Amino acid sequence: MILTVTLNTALDITYRTAALTPHATNRVAEVSERPGGKGLNVARVLSALGHETVVTGFAGGRTGDALRELLAAEGPFDALVGIAGTTRRTVAVVDEATGDTTQLNEPGPTVTPAEWASFLTSYEGLVARADAVALCGSLPPGIHVGAYAELVRLARAANLPVLLDTSGEPLRRGIAARPDLVKPNADELARLTGSREPLRATRDARRRGGRAVIASLGAAGLLAATPDGSWRAAPPKAVRGNPTGAGDSAVAGLLSGLVERLPWPDRLARAVALSTATVLAPAAGEFDREAYADLLPRIAVTEQAP
């Protein structure tokens, strides 16, 4: 079983318009809703890949109820902890004419100390039964900035491989707790290390505590610095579409590859193929299966010089 943690879950709403015109009334051609937040997106992809997956984190209010109803139909097991606050919404507006997406993210609900304590009790029980865990996304108000570092240490104490995908100070503190995998994007990595040269920055992030660091380079793919070497993986060409959830699909590819004990080049190829196929999917947090099958053998993975 793979456990994904989403402390700041969301109900993802995608609007598709023929053309988005600022300062004007825009007609929406299609609306879709999905359980959202980075870890829930990861869990959805893991389930589609055939892995038993459990999601935990927080959900509350009418939005949280809607999220859980949608989640029940998708496959991942719901171990979310109920809270008094209301789960946030995110809105993606897709411009069909350009392929561009405008993203609007609400803040999360405030989590009380008692709700955090309840979550920790549940998390420790889930960790004891898991094969790997992914800690994903932002922290809602009320959660202390070292929360991910605390969760990394609890996973490591249980000898459980742990992947961290967050940003800012939670990333800085979390990486010091020595997670097995860290997946920042290029901007997050630059803020963490002070370097904009990707390979140097990934190796610097390893020195800060990450056993393996996989940097997302957007349309250019992934760059990985690991104990076994460094690789760059890239799709055959750039694609246009909705990038919401693409990084989360990459996390699912990396985590499934870890559990399946795939060599690093195969893990990276899977992650890039999944993330690219997610950009091509019609709704946030899904991937185009036909595109994934077509892309997987065409991902270029090259080893980087020491």
Residues labelled catalytic: 248
Report the C-alpha gap between 186 and 193 in whole angstroms: 11
Measured distance CA(10)–CA(25) in Å, rounded: 26
Residues paired with 90 in a beta bridge? 12, 105
Cα 91 off chain centre by:
17
CB atoms within 10 A of CB 154: 17
Total residue count of the chain as it appears in this document = 306
Rounded CA-CA distance 209/174 in Å is 9
Q: Which residue has the tokens 């809105």?
A: 91
Instruction: Output the CA torsion sign for 196, 186, 294, 96.
Output: negative
Give yes or no for a contact between 178 and 184, defined as CB atoms under 8 angstroms apart. no
CB 89 within 8 A of CB 61: no
| CB of 182 closer than 8 Å to CB of 225 | no
Q: For residues 124 and 118, is the Cβ–Cβ distance under 8 A? A: no
Tokens at 295, concatenated = 């892309």
Helix (H, G, I), strand (E, B) or coil at 184: coil
